[in-house]
Amino acid sequence: MATRGHGHGHGHGGSGSRTRVGRYELGRTLGEGTFAKVKFARNVENGENVAIKILDKEKVLKHKMIAQIKREIATMKLIRHPNVIRMYEVMASKTKIYIVMEFVTGGELFDKIQASRGRLKEDEARKYFQQLINAVDYCHSRGVYHRDLKPENLLLDASGVLKVSDFGLSALPQQVRVSMEDGLLHTTCGTPNYVAPEVINNKGYDGAKADLWSCGVILFVLMAGYLPFEDSNLMQLYKKIFKADFSCPPWFSTSGKKLIKRILDPNPATRITIAEVIENEWFKKGYKPPVFEQADVSLDDVDSIFNDSADTRNLVVERREVGPVGPVAPVTMNAFELISTSQGLNLSSLFEKQMGLVKRETRFASKSSANEIMTQIEAAATPLGFDVKKNNFKMKLQGEKTGRKGHLSVATEIFEVAPSLYMVEVRKSGGDTLEFHKFYNNLSTGLKDIVWKTVDEEKEEGNIQIESTS
């Protein structure tokens, strides 16, 4: 779950009520997973925007993750690298752990590929790959492995600099990892497309070599615009990955092809190392080593979040600042928030027709009343095999059958954009991105009566007769 900043403003619940944690005012949810959700927040002392990952203490304790989480958080706090999302501080209340992180606004690297006709030119791909390798190499030198590098972890800041998110937090129980007694990592993996063969094999593996494999797959996708290993049949896909059965498209340069073949070597013992990648001729072209800032970092807060001693001075409390309570109305968004929600200040993306683009959240506008929208979503989702839970103007849809990555779950929220114009946000909170996509396409067929179309779209679909002025 990345702290992905699509420049989200704060959607506040109720009217005028805001939640404060320590010196942060919480805004809207940016993403959620089984153990954690990520919210946009603002530091009220300096006005800085941050993302806060909120973990449920109970679940963490239940999965005996304390020592590991403490270690990872402590290490993450020490990591300061221009291409890694910064972790600022950790706080805890009686029931929750709050991890305060840097918030970036440039969207995802992969949205950029879509924008540039599906793939990047080799020089541009190399530039991002260099930044990715810098980040990964730096973290490895500090003993932190990502273990789950994939496109949704690659964000861009406002100046287009790559930032890798969720480094070191991958040991948080996303899918709880198995034993560490033989000193090797064991893991269960999500979508296997980016995962090294030895990880799928669950033989225990070297984190550095496995991360590099994922970087190789990412580089391939940046330059090709598609995945090196694809098959709708999972066993066939595994076979391809185990044999590194892929071929480079003709537009890759010879030296680029060579490097990718050395990285996507199914045998970790003969696979190229990161140190060798950095010395590679193709890699070195236009390479700028990263610039660091060194500063002293305190780890006091990391120890204090798990101290259940009598000293509760360190605990923060979630306070609701006063305002009317109860399900007043859907959250209203002002024009600024609306614009900042749509990436690149391009409003058309609010009402975007999905271009077969795999996003984990998508939005549509509607002129129906908020209650009507909820009723319709429920009516459309139920026959698709989803269990629907409602709370104010938010809904959670949980898929009944298990997909490739467990159950698909979807969160929807309705925002009032103007009197009688609503924006509905549908986002994946668990499961496989491609399955979410399929679900959204099916759902939108059922919702076509409530989706607000512009006159042009109506014309296009022939639903509107242009009146002749006779």
Which positions make up the binding site for ATP?
53
User: How far is residue 52's CA from residue 97's CA, in Å, rounded to a whole number?
Assistant: 10
265 counts as catalytic:
no
> What's the count of helices (H) and strands (E) in the chain, helices before strands?
15, 15
Collapse the DSSP code of 321 into the 3-class scheme (helix H, G, I; strand E, B; otherwise coil) and give the result: coil
What is the DSSP track for 445-456? HHTTTTB---HH
User: How far is residue 386's CA from residue 398's CA, in Å, rounded to a whole number?
Assistant: 5
Report the DSSP beta bridge partners of residue 290: none
SS3 for 329-356 is CCEECCHHHHHHHCHHHCHHHHHCCCCC
Report the DSSP beta bridge partners of residue 101: 51, 87
Backbone phi, psi, residue 253, to 5°: -70, 160
Collapse the DSSP code of 255 into the 3-class scheme (helix H, G, I; strand E, B; otherwise coil) and give the result: helix
Q: At what angle do helices 207-224 and 254-263 cross, to 10 degrees?
A: 150
Annotated binding residues? 53
Q: Which of 122, 154, 124, 120 shows the shortest CA–CA distance to 136?
A: 154
SS3 for 409-429 is EEEEEEEEEECCEEEEEEEEE
**Catalytic pick among 137, 148, 211, 432:** 148
Count of residues in the chain: 470
CA 430 to each of CA 107, 268, 287, 400: distance values in angstroms, whole numbers, following the listed order: 20, 31, 37, 13
Q: Alpha-carbon Rg of the chain, whole angstroms?
A: 23
Report the DSSP beta bridge partners of residue 410: 397, 428
Q: Which of 96, 28, 115 shows the shortest CA–CA distance to 56?
A: 96
User: How far is residue 283's CA from residue 272's CA, in Å, rounded to a whole number?
Assistant: 13
User: How far is residue 415's CA from residue 208's CA, in Å, rounded to a whole number?
Assistant: 44
User: How far is residue 408's CA from residue 205's CA, in Å, rounded to a whole number?
Assistant: 29
Q: Tell me whether strands 361-366 and 386-391 are parallel, antiparallel or unpaired.
A: unpaired
User: How far is residue 84's CA from residue 98's CA, in Å, rounded to a whole number?
Assistant: 19
Q: Which residues are catalytic?
A: 148
